[in-house]
Structure formats: structure tokens, C-alpha cells
């Protein structure tokens, strides 16, 4: 319920309220009559609030299946669309120049270099950069969290997520909710700025209203980037703490040394990709013992 309220309902309410006010002020039919935009009686207030809540709830439900797509568009996965493929290439080139500039600053000494090294530590390699800061913040976790141990992050993440502790799961859910909420707020403010720009296009005196709404969209986007960086950091923590739980859940023998670990996880990743069954010995004894202990508990 909390996720539905913050992630879906609140951003939808903001957009629906903007459209509702513009419609009541007749902004699309001529000059806005702001005096009629606000309800004039308690019954009118109640009816308007119920109408806004109903429309926002319906909009949130309709958009919920597209949540992943809403995030991916802001990440910069635009290559599949001819209209945006060229823009994606330009923005990637800008990201690469920024990456090289950070590397140059990181090679120096002093606080500026320390800040550059900190920022580089949250960015993916230069050859896999995406057009946007949000995309690069998430890609850093998607291609490095499990790869440090020989696991392919994207294919192993749904499986290792099921092995995390309750505290870790709560932290992941909270951070993901913050990310999705910020993304939806960004889309809501961008949409509100669009309808404001259209509705007030013939009113120079109030046309400036869309500018602060765009500013709010930028703030929401920055919040999404910060949440994405935190989420990528938590992905690294999950693989640090629970990668062996994944092997135990698959009933594979735990490796004794680091070189054996990387080999075992590489074979498991091969399995997850659908390219075959790893030649790894099974270890059922510990699992059966834990099951017996659980069954013996009252």
C-alpha cells in the first residue's frame, strides 16, 4: 500500500490536479479565468477532490505495468527508436568526455582529485556508458556487482535476491521505492510543464509558470540519480554477503579458494544464460540437515 501511494498515486495526483485546474480555468478555450479554477463551496470542494483522487488512482493503475519502461527511458535506452538514436550517440559522446575529464582530475592530488575519484567509483567503464546520468548510475551496479566474483549480475540478480536477509530486502525495497518515486515525479512534472505550456501559450503574463515546474522535474531527476547510486551500492553489498547463499540454494558445493570461486560462479552464470548445465558437484547434506532442523522446530 505504501509503495502504491508514494510511487504511483502521488505523482499522478500532481499531474491530474494541474490538468484539472487548467480545465476549470478554461485555459484551453481562451484566456484563463483563475477565479473559477477554485471550488466555490464545500460540496464543490468535495466533488473536485473525489474526482481528482479517482482520476489519479485510475492513471496510477494504468501506468503501473510500465514502471520499468518509465525508468529505462530516463536511463537512455533510445537506440531502438530512429528519432532518438542520433541524440543518444551525441549524449554518450558528452558522457565520455566527462568521464575522461574526471580521470584527468583524479590523477592529480588534493580534494578535487579525491572528489573525482569518488565520482569515478560510481560510473561504469567508458566503453559501456549510457546517455544519461541515471542510466550510468544503474549500469554501474548491473555490470559490476556480480562480475567481481565471476557472476553475471543481470541473470543472477533475480535468484540471489531471494536469498537476502530481511534487513537487506527492506533496504533494497526502500531504495527502489525512492528511485521509482523520483522517476515518476520527474515524468509527472515534465507532463505538467507540457500541458501548462500548451494551455498558457497565448497568455504571456503567466507563461512563465511552466519554468518552475521544469525545475521541479530536474530536482526529481537528480533525486532519481542519487537513489540509483544507492541502489547500485546495495547490489554490490548483496553479492558480497549472499553469493555463497546462492550456491547453497542451488545445492552446489562451496568453493575452498578464490580461484575455485570464480570458476564455480562462471559456470553458474553459464547455466543462468541458458547455455548448458554446469559441471559442478552437488552438496545435499547440509541442506537436508537444515530442513530436518526446521521440521523439528515447534
For the stretch 211-237, pLDDT in tens is: 999 999 999 999 999 999 999 999 999
Q: What does pLDDT average to over the chain?
A: 89
Assess if residue 253 is contained within a domain: no
Task: State the average pLDDT over residues 244-255.
Answer: 91
Assess if residue 127 is contained within a domain: no
Assess if residue 136 is contained within a domain: no
Question: What pLDDT sits at residue 256?
Answer: 86
pTM of the model: 0.88
Q: In the structure, what pLDDT confidence band is assigned to residue 296 with cuts at 50, 70 and 90?
A: very low
Assess if residue 87 is contained within a domain: yes
Question: How many domains does the structure of the chain reveal?
Answer: 1
Instruction: Compute the chain's Rg from CA coordinates.
Output: 25
Assess if residue 160 is contained within a domain: no
- Of 178, 170, 87, nearest to 132 by C-alpha is 87
Assess if residue 98 is contained within a domain: yes
Question: What pLDDT sits at residue 200?
Answer: 87
Q: CB within 8 A of 12, min separation 6: which ones?
A: 55, 56, 57, 59, 60, 63, 184, 188
Q: CB within 8 A of 232, min separation 6: which ones?
A: 122, 137, 138, 140, 141, 142, 145
Assess if residue 84 is contained within a domain: yes
- Measure the CA–CA gap between 77 and 101, rounded to whole angstroms: 24
Task: State the average pLDDT over residues 37-42.
Answer: 80
User: Buried b vs exposed e over 148-166: b needs ≥16 C-beta within 10 Å?
Assistant: ebbbbbebbbeebeebbee
Percentage, residues of the chain above pLDDT 70: 94
Q: In the structure, what pLDDT confidence band is assigned to residue 191 with cuts at 50, 70 and 90?
A: very high
Question: What pLDDT sits at residue 128?
Answer: 92
Q: Which domain holds residue 89?
A: 77-122
| Four-CA torsion 170, 171, 176, 177, nearest 10 degrees | 60
Task: State the average pLDDT over residues 63-87.
Answer: 91
44 pLDDT exceeds 90? no
Q: In the structure, what pLDDT confidence band is assigned to residue 295 with cuts at 50, 70 and 90?
A: very low
Question: What pLDDT sits at residue 160?
Answer: 96
271-274 long-range CB contacts below 8 Å, 24 or more apart? 272/152, 272/155, 272/156, 272/159, 273/152, 273/155
Amino acid at each position: 500500500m505504501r509503495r502504491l501511494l508514494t510511487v504511483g498515486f502521488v505523482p499522478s495526483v500532481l499531474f491530474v490536479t494541474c490538468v484539472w485546474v487548467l480545465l476549470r480555468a478554461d485555459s484551453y478555450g481562451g484566456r484563463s479565468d483563475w477565479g473559477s479554477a477554485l471550488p466555490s463551496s464545500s460540496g464543490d470542494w468535495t466533488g473536485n477532490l473525489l474526482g481528482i483522487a479517482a482520476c489519479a488512482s485510475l492513471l496510477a493503475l494504468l501506468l503501473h505495468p510500465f514502471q520499468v519502461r518509465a525508468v529505462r527511458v530516463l536511463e537512455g535506452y533510445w537506440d531502438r527508436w530512429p528519432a532518438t538514436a542520433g541524440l543518444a550517440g551525441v549524449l554518450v559522446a558528452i558522457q565520455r568526455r566527462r568521464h575522461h575529464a574526471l580521470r584527468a582530475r583524479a590523477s592529480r592530488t588534493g580534494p578535487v582529485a579525491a572528489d573525482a575519484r569518488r565520482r569515478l567509483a560510481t560510473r561504469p567503464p567508458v566503453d559501456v556508458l549510457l546517455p544519461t546520468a541515471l542510466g550510468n548510475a544503474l549500469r554501474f551496479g548491473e555490470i559490476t556487482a556480480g562480475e567481481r566474483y565471476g557472476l553475471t549480475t543481470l541473470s543472477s540478480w533475480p535468484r540471489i535476491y531471494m536469498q537476502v536477509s530481511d534487513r537487506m530486502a527492506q533496504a533494497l525495497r526502500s531504495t527502489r521505492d525512492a528511485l521509482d518515486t523520483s522517476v515518476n515525479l520527474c515524468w509527472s512534472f515534465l507532463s505538467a510543464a507540457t500541458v501548462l505550456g500548451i494551455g498558457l501559450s497565448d497568455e504571456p503574463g503567466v507563461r512563465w509558470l511552466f519554468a518552475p515546474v521544469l525545475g521541479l522535474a530536474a530536482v526529481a531527476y537528480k533525486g532519481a540519480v542519487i537513489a540509483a547510486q544507492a541502489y547500485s551500492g546495495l547490489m554490490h553489498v548483496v553479492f558480497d554477503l549472499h553469493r555463497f547463499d546462492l550456491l547453497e540454494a542451488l545445492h552446489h558445493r562451496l568453493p575452498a579458494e578464490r580461484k575455485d570461486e570464480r570458476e564455480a560462479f562462471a559456470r553458474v552464470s553459464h547455466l543462468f544464460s541458458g547455455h548448458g548445465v554446469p559441471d559442478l558437484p552437488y552438496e545435499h547434506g547440509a541442506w537436508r540437515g537444515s530442513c530436518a532442523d526446521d521440521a523439528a522446530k515447534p
